[in-house]
Structure 1
Amino acid sequence: MSLSGRERRILAEIELALERDDPELVERVAAINRIESGEDAFPRAYGDRLRMWALAHVWMIFSVGGLLIVLLLVAVLTT
């Protein structure tokens, strides 16, 4: 079922009012539409945060692993 010309004009007016009143909501809805359409699987902001989170955790794992090796070596060499 398609919209009449009057209904399309009313919808366009609602969209314009929403863009003026709450641009953040408009951006969020646009991001959801991009995700649902498969256009943007990882929005840039979330992708950057995810990469930083992963990098921090990888460095933490390597640091703890290195510390563990050093402590084991110290324990073996001092006994």
Structure 2
Amino acid sequence: MGLSGRERRILAEIEQGLERDDPELARRVAAINKIESDGIDYPRAYSDRLRVWALTHVWIIFAVAGVVIVLLLLAVLTT
């Protein structure tokens, strides 16, 4: 989704103010923008790792819940 003309103008004003007030930060932002425009998809790689991490934790929770249920059933059946 593209920016409107007004939004692009506001963004340009912010960028100009940043370059004027903090040239070092502006240089770093420009470097980040260059990396992103070169087609390196770091956010997607991060989101893929996050998804795997979340799914792993969900399976661990299910496994622990299963063990707890089995232990509770054993405790009830042996008393």
Q: TM-score, normalised by structure 2?
A: 0.49
Q: TM-score, normalised by structure 1?
A: 0.49
